[in-house]
Amino acid sequence: MTSLKGKIITVVGSGLIGRSWAMVFLSGGYKVKIYDNEPGQASGAITEISRKQIEELQRAKMLRGNLTAAQQLSLLSSHDDLQQALEGAFFVQECVFEDLEAKHSVFHEVENLVTESVILSSSTSCLMPSNVFSRVQNRTRCIISHPVNPPYYVRLVELVPHPETLPAVMDVAYSLMTDVGQAPVRLSKEIDGFALNRVQYAIIAESWRLVQDGVISVKDIDLVMSEGLGMRYAFIGPIETMHLNAPEGMEDYLQRYSEGMKRVLNTFGPVPDFSGEPAARIVKEICELIPAEQEHLTVRRERRDQLLMELAKLKK
Ligand code: NAI
């Protein structure tokens, strides 16, 4: 595959995720052009990325890639005109609101302004590729590249094809994500929730049921993850965990534990409603631990990002 280095990527939508993608692509030495349809929003994003983020990261010695903050920032530009923003791009990363109509209108506009070879990639977290790209004429170059927030520290990217996406398009997206230091995974076909949210929702559902049924408190179920499962899951996935947790590996694990797993799994309740009295109780319990006022939430978010930064350092 020809080198992608130094090529241009257009980021459409300069909110939380658009800015994060821009920083990730810059760290890999790509030229990034940011566009937003809200006048002044893209240039505001540049101020935020440069002063607040990239320079601060350099001071904290957490800047990603081999380029200095100044070198990375010299590759970044903002545009209020979509055509100008798309000029020369080989890859378009869409990051507008999670709204099907908004995605349709962006991809319709973009497709009319780029050549056939340009890859159209969406950041959507919950929409299916066949819906997101339903109004695109040439869907063979369409893909979902779903990041995890904040992508600068949490490197996973789920690559999800449209049923018509060419394997070569998946390969280019995979190479690009690897090149910028992300950790891409390929899904072979579209599925609601992709992989990450399907696993996440399974965890949320069982945690919710246990609290709802009075088995455990909110504080303690969160500790089950943060002091238990999460400790290993930052480094080892569930399948490797099984393989390592029996003396002779996976087959041994299945012999020892599959009956127990099935017994427990058969006791799982239905999908929770996430409403009514149980929801009120769970909201009250979490708000007693972390009040829902902005000042408290901000402190906890900053703590989360700081800890993720430290973990990213450790994983390196
Ligand atoms: P956001 O609300 O922070 O930013 C959206 C930006 O898109 C705004 O700046 C808005 O002005 C711009 N925009 C809206 N319509 C536009 C258009 N037609 N053309 C150009 N710009 C337009 O949203 P956020 O959180 O950055 O999400 C963006 C996408 O990323 C969504 O699809 C979301 O599901 C996905 N995502 C979000 C994650 C998160 O944790 N926030 C995580 C993973 C994916």
- The atom number, within ligand 1, closest to the CA of 94 reads 29
Secondary structure (3-state) at 45: helix
Nearest CA to ligand 1 atom 12: 13
| Any ligand 1 atom below 6 A from CB of 310 | no
Q: Which pLDDT score is estimated for 221?
A: 98
170 and 220 belong to one structural domain: no
Q: Which pLDDT score is estimated for 61?
A: 87
Position of tokens 């991809």?
A: 107
For the chain, how many structural domains are there in total? Answer: 2
Q: What is the pLDDT of residues 211-264, one digit of tens each?
A: 999 999 999 999 999 999 999 999 999 999 999 999 999 999 999 999 999 999
What beta strand segments (E) does 195-292 contain?
none
177 and 205 belong to one structural domain: no
| Any ligand 1 atom below 6 A from CB of 12 | yes
50 pLDDT band, cuts 50/70/90, is confident
19 and 112 belong to one structural domain: yes
Nearest CA to ligand 1 atom 17: 37
Whether the pLDDT of residue 1 is over 70: the answer is no
| Domain end call among 140, 165, 186 | 186
CATH code of residue 160: 3.40.50.720
Could you write out the DSSP letters of every residue in 288-309?
HHS-SSHHHHHHHHHHHHHHHH
In angstroms, what CA-CA distances link 29 with 75, 215, 217? 8, 51, 47
| Residue 301 domain-assigned (yes or no) | yes
4 pLDDT band, cuts 50/70/90, is confident
| Any ligand 1 atom below 6 A from CB of 123 | yes
Task: Tell me the residue range of the domain where 307 lies.
Answer: 196-315
Secondary structure (3-state) at 177: helix
Compute the distance from residue 174 Cα to the ligand 1 centre, in Å. 22
Would you state the structure tokens that stand for residue 315, as one six-digit string?
Answer: 């994983």
Residues 6 or more apart in contact with residue 100 via CB below 8 angstroms: 127, 131, 132
Cis omega (within 30 of 0) on the bond before 129?
A: no
Q: Which pLDDT score is estimated for 22?
A: 97
Cis omega (within 30 of 0) on the bond before 291?
A: no
Residues 6 or more apart in contact with residue 91 via CB below 8 angstroms: 7, 9, 10, 118, 119, 121, 172, 173, 176
Task: Tell me the one-letter amino acid at 179.
Answer: D
| Residue 191 domain-assigned (yes or no) | no
119 and 207 belong to one structural domain: no
| Domain end call among 165, 186, 207 | 186
Residues 6 or more apart in contact with residue 98 via CB below 8 angstroms: 124, 125, 126, 127
Compute the distance from residue 81 Cα to the ligand 1 centre, in Å. 18
Please say whether the beta carbons of 139 and 133 come within 8 A. yes
Nearest CA to ligand 1 atom 44: 125
Task: Please state, in angstroms and rounded to a whole number, the distance separating the CA atoms of residues 170 and 150.
Answer: 23
What is the complex's ipTM, to 2 decimals?
0.98
Compute the distance from residue 126 Cα to the ligand 1 centre, in Å. 12
Backbone torsions φ then ψ of 165, nearest 5 degrees: -60, 135
Please say whether the beta carbons of 152 and 20 come within 8 A. yes
Q: Which pLDDT score is estimated for 144?
A: 98
| Residue 3 domain-assigned (yes or no) | no
171 and 218 belong to one structural domain: no
| Any ligand 1 atom below 6 A from CB of 17 | yes
| Any ligand 1 atom below 6 A from CB of 149 | yes
Compute the distance from residue 313 Cα to the ligand 1 centre, in Å. 27
Secondary structure (3-state) at 56: helix
| Domain end call among 186, 211, 237 | 186
| Residue 58 domain-assigned (yes or no) | yes
Query: Residue 15 has what DSSP assignment?
Result: S
